[in-house]
Structures are given as C-alpha cells and as structure tokens.
Amino acid sequence: MNPNNYTSQSSVIIQQAMEIAQERGQQAIETGHLLLAILQDDTQTASFLLKKLGVNPTQIQTALGPILNTYPKVSGDQAYASNALQQALQRADKLKADFGDTYVSVELLFLSLLDGNDSVADA
C-alpha cells in the first residue's frame, strides 16, 4: 500500500481500522475493521448514502460484531493487513484508475469492500 495513493481521509480511516483491531487484541487488520471504521465516521459519504437508501449504519455495525469476534486474537505482535484487506485495497486502487481519480477515497474503499467475497461484503 502506497500512502501517497490515498486521500488524507482514507489514510485516517485505515489508521482507525488498525486501532479497532488493536483495541480488540487482533493482529491482522481485516475488512471488517475497515468497514467499521468507515461506518463509525458520520462525516463520510458512505454513511450518508446508506441513510438515504433507508439502511441504518448502526444495524450494519451490529451485524459486524459477530464477524469481528471470529478474527483471531493475538497479543504482542506487529499489526498487518490480512489477505482480504490487501485484496480490498487492490480493488480500491483499480477503481481509482477506472474512475480516473488521482487518489483512493473513502468511497472507493467502501465500494471495494462491497465488491469483496467475504462475510463482510455480505453484512
């Protein structure tokens, strides 16, 4: 992941995902951590769009709880991006190119999570 390819807000969201994983004692930063970080930030377009579609972001956060609980807990080791998260970041980078954007925005991160093939995309 090249930090120069991300908007400052995307970088903040990724940092928040890492903090969520660390708070939960989880070494791998997973797609669920990233989605939760996006949903917890009410200033993001993703939350706004979900609300406009009649979807309550809090319900998705609740549905994420059991998924987050399945992630292994490890203490004392360095955090790293899981394979699923790396794939999501690659999809976001591809979306950036497809849309002709210069940087990966939070919206592109959100779209890349929805396009995944894991339990988080189904949440």
For each of the domains in the chain, give its residue range(s) and CATH number, in order of start.
Answer: 3-118 (1.10.1780.10)
pTM of the model: 0.91
Helix/strand/coil for 66: helix
Phi, psi (5° rounding) for residue 27?
Answer: -75, -45
Based on its alpha-carbon atoms, the radius of gyration of the chain, rounded to whole angstroms, reads 14
* Distance of alpha carbon 61 from alpha carbon 24, whole angstroms: 15
Tokens read off for 47: 């939350």
pLDDT per residue as tens, the chain (123 positions): 677 899 999 999 999 999 999 999 999 999 999 999 999 987 778 888 888 889 888 899 999 999 999 999 987 678 899 999 999 999 999 999 999 999 999 999 999 999 988 888 777
Kindly tell me the number of DSSP H helices and DSSP E strands found in the chain. Answer: 7, 2
